[in-house]
Structure 1
């Protein structure tokens, strides 16, 4: 039998794939766990593993020292906790949202007497409870609540506190996911170029990984601005070759066109900083 002595009592609302992975990790670590899910049947398996199942969000909230929300969206959080007494509770919101939603929900919780921490999960469910996977979670908001529950929060994945502004966790989360999306777009285009040729795909994959790993530090160091080592006009001119090659290979350029248009705008505006141009899209458009 798992020893629960001195372990934080956790209440978890939301048992999707991520919520279930979190629940199992906390149970394995000996945390007394109460769960609630809108579709009650999803809690049955966890009940067999030692979780208490609450009949309502209010019952779940009352049972825990730490209340964790892992629901569909911000509206679901508001609906689940509507009318629930939150006074004296510590809420950690693992529900995916925007920075503005994090700030608004923090004010909402604090007005009801709760300490609030927003979060952004940089992991997929199979990474939860697997330290070597590299998964972690961004947290922001009440530093006091975060520190009070740090040990419990570090059980499923690494915990990185990024500031007392409740919107910062979501901001970091979305910024990194946006970068990932752009990376995947470029990789998709690269594979499309070579897929129908007699190219060693395993070797190509290694080359692609090495190249991106080598180039990323240069971009990070520049913060999105051109430099003497990366002349903007030369890059924009070189884009024409990339587009001609795509046409020759019968590959659409839809994944590259928006970025290339931005570079052309930079050249035309004499603005070396792509980030600045994105933040003021009307300028020079």
Structure 2
């Protein structure tokens, strides 16, 4: 922690001192920012007092202490409960609580009606990455661009920043989209390790091959984006959908031989087969995105 905060190290309030909230507070303290903290369970915030934070007994007291207020609680319902009777007039409210796009938009309307400017945030990091400039962690922000620009430097202290638009739901939308892609990747990784588990193949020896393969495949997202924006799913195809679907049979037979359930693969394979049946064999798999859009006669059929 810096003993003499610089003139531009503005004071701020943090509501919520769980693992992530605590990491955020420590990063701001280390950069010389005076920080007021509040947590529903007061004892969990006491350790931060020894590190220089000011403890508030109530959320209202914490909010009144500073113009910039950061919220990092369990869920949107917790945010509503904590701030139910708090005067937000003139405050800059930045909500880093994980939620949905609808949560972000509703919370923005609520905060604005209460006299505050509002930013929603999606933290693309785990607590150990906070405060480490080399970790690659960042926070997605959406909502008031004026608020973001004014506090950009302060918000950048714990992690990098990515502003994704005035629509307050966009931070959560980007956050969940990225996490969903990660979940799919983890599903594939789990299946891959399951295939080798009963063989004389050490997971540690296999892991570099797996990481390298996934890294080499990652740039394909740029082609998919071009295809989606242009509406041409045949653009730049190297391995067409008909070939991929035919190859799926080998993946399924191998899983059966190895005594591994294919349940992590078959939902996507089913979509591939449906898109192929609709006459898209010369394209690649990007078109399955259309099958996922509920209300277009496919995903909800």
Compute the TM-score of the two structures, normalised by the length of structure 1: 0.96
- The partner residue of 1:21 within 16, 20, 23 is 23
**2: CA distance, partners of 1:254 / 1:196:** 18
CA deviation vs aligned residue, 1:29-53 (integer Å, no higher than 9, x gap): 1111000000000011001111111
Q: What is the DSSP-based 3-state SS (H/G/I as helix, E as strand, rest coil) of the residue aligned with 2:188?
A: helix
Asked if the contact 1:86/1:112 (under 8 Å) is kept, the reply is yes
Q: What is the DSSP-based 3-state SS (H/G/I as helix, E as strand, rest coil) of the residue aligned with 2:162?
A: strand
Asked if the contact 1:103/1:165 (under 8 Å) is kept, the reply is yes
Q: What is the DSSP-based 3-state SS (H/G/I as helix, E as strand, rest coil) of the residue aligned with 1:22?
A: helix
Q: What is the DSSP-based 3-state SS (H/G/I as helix, E as strand, rest coil) of the residue aligned with 1:279?
A: coil
CA deviation vs aligned residue, 1:134-184 (integer Å, no higher than 9, x gap): 000000100111111111111100011111110110011000000000000
**1: CA distance, partners of 2:222 / 2:263:** 25
C-alpha displacement at 1:256, in angstroms? 0.5
Alignment coverage as a number of residue pairs: 285
Asked if the contact 2:292/2:298 (under 8 Å) is kept, the reply is no
Q: What is the DSSP-based 3-state SS (H/G/I as helix, E as strand, rest coil) of the residue aligned with 2:167?
A: coil
**1: CA distance, partners of 2:219 / 2:170:** 23
Task: Give the match for residue 238 of structure 1.
Answer: 247
C-alpha displacement at 1:230, in angstroms? 2.3
Task: Give the match for residue 266 of structure 2.
Answer: 257
In structure 1, runs of 5+ residues without a counterpart are: none
1:283 aligns with 2:298: yes
**2: CA distance, partners of 1:201 / 1:30:** 45
Task: Give the match for residue 97 of structure 1.
Answer: 99
C-alpha displacement at 1:2, in angstroms? 1.5
Deviating more after overlay: 195-204 vs 168-177: 195-204
1:128 aligns with 2:130: yes
Q: What is the DSSP-based 3-state SS (H/G/I as helix, E as strand, rest coil) of the residue aligned with 1:131?
A: coil
**1: CA distance, partners of 2:152 / 2:224:** 34
1:192 aligns with 2:194: yes
Q: What is the DSSP-based 3-state SS (H/G/I as helix, E as strand, rest coil) of the residue aligned with 2:218?
A: helix
Q: What is the DSSP-based 3-state SS (H/G/I as helix, E as strand, rest coil) of the residue aligned with 1:178?
A: helix
C-alpha displacement at 1:226, in angstroms? 5.7
CA deviation vs aligned residue, 1:216-268 (integer Å, no higher than 9, x gap): 21243123746531211111111111000000000001110111111111111
Task: Give the match for residue 11 of structure 1.
Answer: 13
Asked if the contact 1:118/1:169 (under 8 Å) is kept, the reply is yes
Task: Give the match for residue 48 of structure 2.
Answer: 46
